[in-house]
């Protein structure tokens, strides 16, 4: 009998969300039916909420006898205390949005042995509970109710029992850029080596019916991808023995030819039904679908059968965010193409199970689920960089994971007697450095990082002038370091204006003229900020620059280096009156109504009044690429002529109170 305890390691919170979207049909004797009803009553009483993946569809679940277990939300030893004094819930708790179908349950969320009122989201993965610690503190909506899969084990070792004979396992992730994961505070989250451990465990548990799939955005952006154009990512996924991948927008960051190379190097198929070349043919090396016949045994039978599993891949119109080879890609409407493909798989290919790998926004996955109806069983998506499982939009559930494998879905499809999907379960894992990792993948990552260190030392260009990156200079006036940054960004992103604040330009020294390596350029901006592009008016730009001049006397990092426009300012003037002129390069005044495309760092945009402006040539800020990509390209483009940025009067400082 499994006992679920909430655990929190010191300084590290292991997030294990057990999401049940199960529906079961107990086809058994009257005695077994009564027993099932008793179990259901206990589960309902203590909060194991059920959200159906399919309205009105239920399926038997075949499990070995030793695997049958009851799901208790608290420990056996703590049950008496838990029943005594649970926290009271506010009258509106778990009733904030009737369209979400949230439901109330009780679980020991904080590990103190007292059941906590807990609200589980039916549509979105939002959870909240009222913790009995700290005097029944209300942690809604950010609290997470924690339940490890098996007490005494890390979540990477969940459920080591053999899979049921009618169970298909799908391991799904998307939008991976950092092979080592990301560091948040003192905790490393995600990473391919820990994901690989989960994959190995599941393949061992369900060797004949496990699929590992990826829903786009692999080749870029990251420091390693800037060096190897995504080659390292393909190599690692080859080692993972991926079953299928779909295309994301960042697959095109290095152009169509580089994508073709990466596809050719892949030992797994890139699924694509709607992105074509300039001649209307599928992009080189991509294929529409994967079809695989798998063995299974019905829940209530002994005769082995086969179920046909079919997967296709589709993406939104990536041309919206491409800055290279845009003219070499054509697009077919994703909804029309998916409707046609899903129908073909059901009717012509006789597929019992149809899955879609998509790279598009969540609301578009919702539209797809509605449009495809019974021709689709599960949509495995990417692009949003957020964790979601939605079961109330259309026929098929859809899931998305967070970026960089910070979260990873383990989906279970339960097959009926005819081999078709009858119900869907979802388990979400949040991997941290407390979880086990796969040594082979870890070694592969180290190997690529060592290659990266060597590659960073190679010459990519040269400069015939020193770069002035001294903080006090970059944050109080025009420098040639500012000219280098802003001109490179404007040329790379093809915008009217580029803005880079002085705090973005790092090193606090003069970088001597001579050879330029990626390591040297990265030292000028080691933080990994990315460039976003927006539409802005002349008035918005004027107000923004004025705002950034407000802390000039403190030598703050907000000071604006600029390309595409010129400005004059008076540092001795009062705040709000320091910007004197904003003009075009020809000297004509910028009007309030003038419209510009503007490139700036993600940090600048997030802290500016323009953060809600319409994006230019992007669909989401997730499409942003690192600043250093533009700097590398500028060094390469200069070639043997070498870079020679010079202060050219685009920013003028007035000594007087006014100019």
pLDDT per residue over 491-503, tens digit each?
A: 999 999 999 999 9
As a whole number of angstroms, the distance between CA 16 and CA 426 comes to 12
Omega of the bond leading into 518 within 30 degrees of 0 (cis): no
* Residue the block writes with tokens 């400082």: 653
Read off the pLDDT of residues 268-312 as tens digits, 9 standing for 90 and up. 999 999 999 999 999 999 999 999 999 999 988 789 999 999 999
Residues 6+ apart with CB under 8 A from 6: 107, 108, 109, 110, 111, 145, 146, 147
Q: Are strands 2-3 and 71-72 parallel, antiparallel or unpaired?
A: parallel
Sign of CA dihedral 332, 336, 339, 344: negative
Q: Comparing 102 with 258, which gets the higher pLDDT?
A: 258
pLDDT at residue 56 greater than cutoff 70: no
Task: Tell me the three-class secondary structure of 355-417, residue by residue.
Answer: EEEEECCHHHHHHHHHHHHHHCCEEEEECCCCCEEECCCCCCCEEECCHHHCEEEEEEEEECC
The mean pLDDT of 348-375, rounded to a whole number, is 97
Residues 6+ apart with CB under 8 A from 622: 175, 383, 384, 385, 403
* Residue the block writes with tokens 């009737």: 98
Read off the pLDDT of residues 457-472 as tens digits, 9 standing for 90 and up. 999 999 999 999 999 9
The mean pLDDT of 546-559, rounded to a whole number, is 94
Question: What 3-state DSSP class applies to 144?
Answer: coil
As a whole number of angstroms, the distance between CA 469 and CA 488 comes to 16
Residues 6+ apart with CB under 8 A from 612: none
Q: Confidence class of residue 138 from pLDDT cuts 50, 70 and 90?
A: low
As a whole number of angstroms, the distance between CA 82 and CA 107 comes to 9
pTM, full prediction:
0.68
- Range with lowest mean pLDDT among 326-340, 422-436, 569-583: 422-436
Q: Confidence class of residue 76 from pLDDT cuts 50, 70 and 90?
A: very low
As a whole number of angstroms, the distance between CA 240 and CA 196 comes to 7
Mean pLDDT, all residues of the chain: 82
As a whole number of angstroms, the distance between CA 233 and CA 267 comes to 12
pLDDT at residue 461 in the model:
97
Domains and CATH numbers, the chain: 86-149 (no CATH), 167-452 (3.60.21.10), 460-653 (3.90.780.10)
pLDDT at residue 39 greater than cutoff 60: no
As a whole number of angstroms, the distance between CA 560 and CA 573 comes to 17
**Environment class of residue 100 by beta-carbon count within 10 Å: exposed (0-12), middle (13-18) or buried (19+)?**
middle
358 in Cβ contact with 313 (< 8 Å): yes
Read off the pLDDT of residues 154-166 as tens digits, 9 standing for 90 and up. 434 444 578 999 9
DSSP string, 241-268: T-SEEE--GGGGTT-HHHHHHHHHH-SS
Q: Comparing 108 with 325, which gets the higher pLDDT?
A: 325
Give Dmax over CA atoms of the chain in angstroms: 94
Q: What is the percent of the chain where pLDDT is above 70?
A: 79
As a whole number of angstroms, the distance between CA 165 and CA 187 comes to 38
CA-based nearest residue to 314, from 362, 403, 233, 245: 245
Structure tokens at 146: 């924690």
């Amino acid at each position: 009998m499994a006992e679920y305890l909430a655990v929190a390691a010191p300084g590290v919170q292991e997030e294990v969300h057990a999401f049940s979207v199960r529906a079961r049909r107990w086809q058994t004797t009257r005695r077994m039916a009564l027993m099932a009803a008793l179990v259901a009553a206990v589960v309902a009483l203590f909060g194991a909420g059920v959200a159906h993946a399919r309205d009105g569809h239920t399926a038997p679940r075949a499990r070995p006898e030793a695997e049958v277990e009851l799901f208790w939300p608290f420990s056996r030893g703590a049950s008496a205390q838990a029943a005594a004094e649970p926290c009271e819930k506010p009258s509106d708790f778990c009733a904030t949005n009737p369209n979400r179908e949230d439901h109330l349950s009780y679980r020991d969320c904080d590990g103190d042995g007292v059941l906590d009122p807990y609200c589980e989201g039916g549509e979105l993965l939002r959870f909240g509970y009222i913790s009995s610690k700290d005097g029944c503190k209300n942690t809604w909506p950010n609290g997470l109710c924690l339940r490890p899969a098996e007490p005494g084990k890390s979540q990477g070792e969940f459920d080591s029992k053999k899979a049921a004979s009618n169970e298909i396992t799908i391991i799904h992730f998307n939008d991976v850029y950092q092979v080592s994961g990301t560091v948040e505070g003192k905790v490393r989250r995600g990473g391919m080596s820990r994901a690989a451990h989960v994959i190995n465990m599941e393949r061992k548990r369900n060797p004949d019916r496990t699929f590992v799939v990826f829903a786009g955005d692999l080749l870029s952006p990251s420091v390693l991808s800037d060096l190897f154009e995504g080659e390292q990512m393909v190599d690692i996924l080859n080692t993972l023995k991926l079953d299928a991948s779909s295309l994301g927008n960042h697959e095109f960051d290095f152009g169509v030819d580089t994508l073709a190379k990466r596809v050719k190097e892949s030992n797994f198929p890139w699924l694509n039904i709607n992105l074509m070349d300039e001649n209307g043919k599928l992009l080189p090396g991509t294929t529409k679908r994967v079809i695989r016949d798998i063995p299974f045994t019905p829940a209530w039978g002994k005769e082995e059968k086969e179920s046909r599993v079919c997967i296709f891949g589709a993406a939104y119109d990536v041309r919206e965010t491409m800055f290279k080879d845009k003219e070499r890609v054509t697009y077919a409407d994703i909804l029309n193409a998916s409707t046609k493909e899903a129908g073909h798989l059901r009717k012509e290919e006789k597929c019992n199970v149809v899955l879609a790998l998509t790279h598009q926004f969540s609301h578009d996955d919702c539209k797809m689920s509605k449009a495809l109806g019974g021709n689709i069983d599960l949509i495995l998506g990417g692009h949003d960089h957020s964790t979601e499982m939605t079961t109330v939009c259309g026929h098929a559930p859809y899931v998305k994971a967070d970026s960089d494998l910070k979260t990873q879905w383990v989906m279970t499809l339960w097959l009926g007697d005819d081999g078709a999907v009858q119900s869907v379960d979802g388990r979400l894992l949040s991997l941290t450095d407390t979880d086990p990792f796969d040594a082979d993948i870890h070694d592969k990552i180290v190997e690529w990082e060592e290659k990266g260190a060597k590659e960073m030392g190679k010459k990519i260009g040269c400069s015939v002038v020193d770069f002035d990156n001294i903080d006090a200079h970059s944050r109080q006036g025009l420098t040639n370091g500012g000219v280098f940054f802003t001109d490179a960004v404007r040329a790379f992103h093809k915008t009217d204006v580029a803005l880079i604040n002085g705090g973005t330009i790092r090193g606090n020294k003069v970088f001597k003229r001579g050879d330029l390596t990626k390591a040297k350029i990265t030292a000028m901006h080691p933080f990994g900020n990315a460039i976003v592009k927006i539409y802005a008016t002349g008035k918005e730009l004027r107000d923004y620059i004025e705002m950034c001049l407000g802390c000039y006397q403190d030598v703050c990092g907000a000071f604006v280096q600029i390309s595409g426009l010129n400005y004059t300012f008076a540092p001795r003037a009062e705040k709000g009156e320091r910007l004197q002129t904003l003009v075009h390069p020809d000297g004509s005044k910028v009007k309030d109504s003038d419209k510009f495309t503007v490139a700036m760092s993600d940090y600048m945009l997030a802290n500016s009044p323009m953060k809600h402006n319409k994006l230019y040539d992007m669909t989401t800020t997730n499409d942003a690429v690192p600043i250093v990509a533009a700097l590398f390209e500028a060094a390469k483009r200069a070639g043997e002529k070498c870079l020679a940025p010079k202060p050219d009067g685009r920013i003028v400082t007035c000594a007087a109170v006014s100019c």
